[in-house]
């Protein structure tokens, strides 16, 4: 029996970005009590874009407004934050609230001050969780653009790593939830049930897998073991009668131990058990919906592992018979 677990290869950070994040603008908060600072910053960043996404500037004119702004938006990429506003330490109070009260460790916080003597850079950098400290006079157009580029790159990579972590946690959780099943039918149903939660690690998307099935090949061919949705009454049917023709052709031409197909027709995963008899296990989901490169990779990892475990369970049932 094959007990090996398979792990995803590393992808570049760009490939791990979810589709919704590629479309949405980067949120940049400008927190300053001077209207001129807001106007100039808006003018300088007017046509700025990064990774094909424009900027959405959010404005706050006091520490109180800034805290309210961050309470309403948990996906702010950068905060350009004035130190001295209604009090000499108003900006520092905002930093403490973002990091300690809201537990937001993702936003890149850049302190901007016109009175550097009020909050010495060496002390502030040491005590507060900020990412840069700038005198307002040194932020020319070019330097502001450079700053935004570097902060957005850092934020993008942090979010990518967090999405990967959440996705892997879901793979482990979903795998554990199906591995306790004792019989192949229950195991198949458990796989289908867990796939929705596996795709749900993206907080801004909703996935509901309505139609799908698992199948196993015997001497008679590939037949459905368990189905959900419109395939719930398809147990025992042959895949030739259910799969889209193009997917069926690709399945028949499979040469590698594991294969997956992501297309407009749905998602299909297949692992070959016995090359001689061409036995395999198959999982099919119809119209899975829009998904990111990361989600597709995690889906492959999960299906590869559970299909291998499914075969071990199937062999165990044969032995017990």
Query: Could you tell me the residue ranges of all domains in the chain?
Result: 18-160, 180-320
What value does the mean pLDDT take over residues 189-202?
Answer: 60
At residue 304 the predicted structure's pLDDT band, cuts being 50, 70 and 90, is confident
Q: Mean pLDDT throughout 272-300?
A: 74
Question: What is the percentage of the chain residues whose pLDDT exceeds 70?
Answer: 68
Residues 285 and 269: beta-carbon distance below 8 Å: no
Let me know how many helices (H) and strands (E) the chain has, helices first: 9, 11
Dihedral over alpha carbons 58, 62, 66, 67 (to 10 degrees): -160
Reported confidence tier of residue 298, pLDDT bands at 50, 70, 90: confident
DSSP single-letter state for residue 233: T
Find tokens 């294969």 and name the residue. Answer: 259
The tokens describing 113, both together, are 């001050």
- Of 3.40.50.1110, 3.30.450.40, 3.40.50.720, 3.30.2350.10, which CATH number belongs to 180-320? 3.30.450.40
Residue 64 pLDDT > 60: yes
More confident residue, 34 or 233: 34
Superfamily of domain 18-160 in CATH is Response regulator (3.40.50.2300)
Q: Confidence class of residue 238 from pLDDT cuts 50, 70 and 90? A: confident
Hey, what are 202's tokens? 């993206």
Residue in this structure with the two tokens 């800034």, named with its chain if needed: 66
- Tokens representing 11 are 């992808």
The token duo for 266 is 């749905």
Spatial CA neighbour of 147 closest among 162, 133, 129, 160: 133
> Is the pLDDT confidence value at 27 over 60?
yes
pLDDT at 233 over 90: no
Q: Is the pTM of this model over 0.85?
A: no
Average pLDDT of the chain? 78
Work out the widest C-alpha separation in the chain, in whole angstroms: 82
**What's the rounded mean pLDDT across residues 48-53?**
92
DSSP state of 207: -
Query: Cα separations (Å) of 4 from 42, 98, 308, 309, 312?
Result: 54, 44, 8, 9, 11
Helix (H, G, I), strand (E, B) or coil at 202: coil
């Amino acid at each position: 029996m094959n007990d090996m677990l398979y792990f995803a290869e590393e992808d570049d950070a760009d490939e791990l970005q979810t589709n919704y994040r590629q479309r949405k603008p980067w949120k940049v908060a400008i927190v300053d009590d001077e209207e001129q600072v807001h106007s100039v910053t808006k003018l300088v960043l007017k046509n700025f874009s990064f990774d094909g996404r424009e900027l959405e500037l959010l404005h706050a004119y006091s520490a109180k407004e800034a805290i309210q702004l961050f309470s309403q938006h948990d996906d702010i990429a950068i905060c350009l934050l004035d130190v001295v506003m209604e009090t000499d330490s108003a900006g520092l109070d905002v930093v403490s609230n973002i990091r300690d009260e809201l537990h937001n460790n993702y936003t890149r916080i850049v302190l901007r001050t016109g009175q550097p003597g009020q909050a010495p850079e060496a002390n502030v950098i040491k005590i507060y969780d900020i990412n840069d400290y700038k005198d307002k006079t040194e932020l020319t157009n070019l330097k502001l653009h450079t700053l935004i580029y570097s902060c957005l790159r850092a934020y993008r990579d942090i979010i990518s790593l967090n999405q990967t972590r959440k996705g892997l946690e879901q793979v482990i959780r979903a795998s554990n939830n199906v591995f306790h099943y004792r019989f192949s039918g229950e195991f198949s149903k458990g796989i289908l049930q867990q796939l929705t939660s596996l795709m749900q690690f993206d907080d801004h998307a909703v996935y509901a897998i309505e139609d799908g099935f698992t199948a196993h090949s015997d001497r008679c061919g590939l037949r459905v073991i368990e189905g959900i949705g419109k395939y719930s009454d398809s147990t025992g049917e042959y895949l030739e009668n259910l799969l889209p023709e193009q997917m069926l052709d690709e399945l028949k031409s499979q040469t590698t131990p594991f294969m997956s197909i992501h297309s407009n027709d749905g998602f299909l995963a297949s692992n070959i058990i016995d090359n001689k008899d061409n036995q395999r296990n198959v999982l099919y989901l119809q119209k899975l919906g829009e998904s990111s490169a990361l989600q597709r990779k995690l889906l492959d990892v999960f299906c590869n592992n559970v299909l291998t475990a499914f075969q071990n369970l199937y062999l165990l049932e044969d032995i017990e018979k």
